[in-house]
Structure 1
């Protein structure tokens, strides 16, 4: 009974954070969803593209349920990192649709297999895993990148991560308070 509860709980959280991540694209133009916002080129659409590959791979071949679309080989170093950004020939719609197709495949795997179903991740130091391990891993990875997306979106236009309790005036005051404390700590005279 706890196994089904855990599986449903983790799966529910994964479904929720997927939608939150895609929501970070709302209202932004093509340049803003694609442009590099960190020294490494991290961008909003690239995070979505990366998580598409993550879900397709982890809930696909790992459980002998191959994803029906072509994926780069996990050990092909020439393709490493290409899933972190969108080319000018890839549309927002194509990438978002691909992510949703990966969800459907992942959801089917999660629904159809028991939480202790065995899988094999050849690139992990302990490659023999259970569906539970992969659910936790993909949820963690998705949450991590959703956090990145929160910061990138705030950087772009000041949009905040779903905090309906505070307004812009509150956050401006908080920003000033944090800045004052940082300056005081740096120059304790």
Structure 2
């Protein structure tokens, strides 16, 4: 995923200022999907406007600019969303640690697995609380449903990680 496409997607939901977009990355979007700060968002918005993918629709106080998606921007977002996802260079520290768990003594490996299960359980409970605060009564598509599909993915992912870590720890304990 790239920041330009994240911004195009957010602008497809509604026009926004750079400040509003940066705040979205400070919330659940940044925690669960993609992080970007003000120093990245503002220059990227300028590039999107220069490429004709977004346009300034309003200028407010202190130079605040409201950006909206253009038809070319909507077409680029659609192209990117519909193309098969390519796996480039992957850097996932959590998965790397799991690949290397066999390098640890059994008790340390069990500690890693138990901690992985506990962290997944904690994150799962937190995400379920967020979902409870934003019930499914909104459409799953459009601005009102933003995050509902992703949140359900996150719930299922945390459940899977928790269950896997518990399974792996049980197997390791049974061997010892």
- Larger strand percent: 2
- Larger helix percent: 2
Q: Which has the higher contact order (CA 8 A, sep 6+)?
A: 1
Same-fold call, TM cutoff 0.5: no
Q: Which one has a bigger Cα radius of gyration?
A: 2
